Amino acid sequence: MATKKNSSNATETPGIDDNEEKFLKDPQWVEKALKKATAIELNKYEEELANLLIELAFKNSKSNPSLLGHSLAAAFDLFVAAEFYKKITSKGWLYCPSSSPLLIYPFTNTCTRCILNGEFHFHKANKPGSGTIGGITRKLLGVFLARLFQRSGRSLTVLRGAEPIDLVVWDNENDIVLMAEAKAAPLTTLALAVPCEIQTALNDDGEVINLSHGPLDNSSLEKSEFHLLIPQPEGEKWSSELVSLGLRPSKQTDLWSYSQMARVFSQDEQMFGRYFEFWQRAFAAYSRGEWIRGAAPDPVYWLTNACGQPVPRPAYWPTRNSGEGFESVSDGKSSMGMDRTDDIKKGIYQVLKLGASRGLPRRKMSQPYYNK
Ligand SMILES: [Zn+2]
């Protein structure tokens, strides 16, 4: 069930708690919530990518002993990535000089390519803020669920709820309404990479030297050939596969990432399986706690959200700009799904609050209730 949004939001709308209380005390609150819910709008590119990824997830689970839910979760992460890639800017790129030089656009605070060899190179990630991620994932989860229900032949309508409800799933055959708080942050987001020239500078003695890792603006976004950087296991080690998404047109940049992701994953159907190998290893590393007590984790752990501070921490790893201690590779606020104890506590609280303030309606509801 839904909860109050982040604190900045709460500051802007100081009466939200009171409104929520009033809303829940209304005997007609379920009907009213349904009336206020609206259809989730999606364009044909979002629809095409969602359908393709869901199909690939089902196929993958047939050729793979892992749970279908894992394939779907991995597919959902790609769907969220397409949305993140809409916001690429000239800033936020990391120059990586290893072997063939790359400009990398990472989503955790370290060089995505070098961490696969266990090397940490701090660089601020390009992840949207937790408030923005919440809005993005709420919509995309709604879209993804709607496509999934349709594929499974389930007669369930997914709607965008009005505050304090994120999503409404309505089983109109059986008169069952599910009101949900969406917690759908991805486990991991594939970095983008653009091949570039070796970068140089003058040292104190006036000699030309090759630059090491560091921030570097991408001043020619329209001429950049973007690639997905997909980590690939190679025996005990990791390498990276670069998959070209092509050039980004100057117009309709919002559609580009969706159409290109759909293109590359439909042209090479084995690619989802290769991506899933990485995702599954990252998920296993994320789920495991033993490494904290002993050896360093699987390197792909450092590409997962909320992975924390580097272990072992290199001597050159920076301290935080504000507050004490060291920078993290990814902080705890961005835990995947509802993996924050804070979210679990909120959920329990909301269920108790609803149960205490208002029981569920007994009578059948007429339709249609929501705004199409
Ligand atoms: Zn690097």
- Tens of pLDDT, residue by residue over 152-184, are 998 999 999 987 788 999 998 888 888 888 888
Question: How far does residue 44's CA lie from ligand 1's centre (Å)?
Answer: 36
Q: Which of 103, 59, 126 is nearest to 265 (CA)?
A: 59
Cβ-based neighbours of 302, under 8 Å, separated by 6 or more = 108, 110, 115, 120, 310, 329, 330
Q: Cα of 243 to ligand 1 centre, how many Å? A: 18
Span 83-109, average pLDDT: 95
Burial 107-134 (b: 16+ CB within 10 A, else e): bbbbbbbbbbeeebbbbebbbbeeeebb
Ligand 1 centroid distance, CA of 371 (Å): 50
Return the bridge partners of 96, or none. Answer: 102
User: Could you tell me the distance, in angstroms and rounded to a whole number, from the CA of residue 113 to the centre of ligand 1?
Assistant: 5
AA identity, residue 270: Q
Ligand 1 centroid–CA 325 distance in Å is 24
Give the confidence band of 4 by pLDDT, cuts at 50, 70, 90.
Answer: very low
Residue length, the chain? 372
CA–centroid distance, 112 to ligand 1, in Å, is 7
E strand or H helix that includes residue 176: strand 176-180
Q: Are 84 and 69 in contact (CB under 8 A)?
A: no
114 Cα: distance to centroid of ligand 1 (angstroms) = 4
> How far, in Å, is the centroid of ligand 1 from the Cα of 131?
29
Helix axes of 130-151 and 68-84: crossing angle, nearest 10 degrees: 130
- Tens digits of per-residue pLDDT, 269-299? 899 999 999 999 999 999 876 566 667 899 9
Structure tokens at 125: 């990630």
Q: Exposed, middle or buried: residue 209 (CB in 10 Å: 0-12, 13-18, 19+)?
A: exposed
Q: Using the structure block, give the residue that is written with the tokens 């990472």.
A: 106
Residue 191 pLDDT class (50, 70, 90 cuts):
very high
Distance CA(268)–CA(263), nearest Å, equals 9
What distance in angstroms lies between residue 279's CA and the mean position of ligand 1's atoms? 20
pLDDT, the chain, mean: 86
- Ion ligand 1, residue ranges at CB < 5 A: 96, 98, 111, 113-114
Q: What H or E segment, with its residue span, contains residue 148?
A: helix 130-151
pLDDT attached to residue 356: 67
Whether pLDDT at 69 is above 90: yes
37-41, 84-88, 361-365: least confident range: 361-365
Task: Look up residue 355 and give its amino acid.
Answer: G
How far does residue 92's CA lie from ligand 1's centre (Å)? 14
- The alpha carbon of 60 and the centre of ligand 1 are apart by a number of angstroms equal to 31
Q: Identify the three-state secondary structure at position 315.
A: coil
Instruction: Select from 98, 336, 71 the least CA-distant residue to 240.
Output: 98
Closest CA to 56 of 240, 238, 235, 279: 279
Of 82, 57, 54, the C-alpha closest to 145 is 54
State in Å: Cα 296 to ligand 1 middle: 19
9: confidence class by pLDDT, cuts 50, 70, 90: very low
pTM of the model: 0.87
- Determine how many CB atoms are found less than 10 A away from the CB of residue 282: 23
Question: In angstroms, what is the span from residue 303 Cα to ligand 1's centroid?
Answer: 13
The Cα diameter of the chain in Å comes to 84
- Report the separation in Å between the CA atom of 327 and the middle of ligand 1, taken as the mean of its atom positions: 18
Give distance in angstroms: CA of 192 to centre of ligand 1.
13
Instruction: Report how far ligand 1's centroid is from the alpha carbon of 120 (Å).
Output: 8
Say yes or no to pLDDT of 3 above 50: no
Kindly give the distance from the C-alpha atom of residue 234 to the centroid of ligand 1, in angstroms, as a whole number: 18
* CA 75/CA 57 separation, integer angstroms: 6
For ligand 1, the distance from its centroid to the CA atom of residue 104, given in whole angstroms, is 8
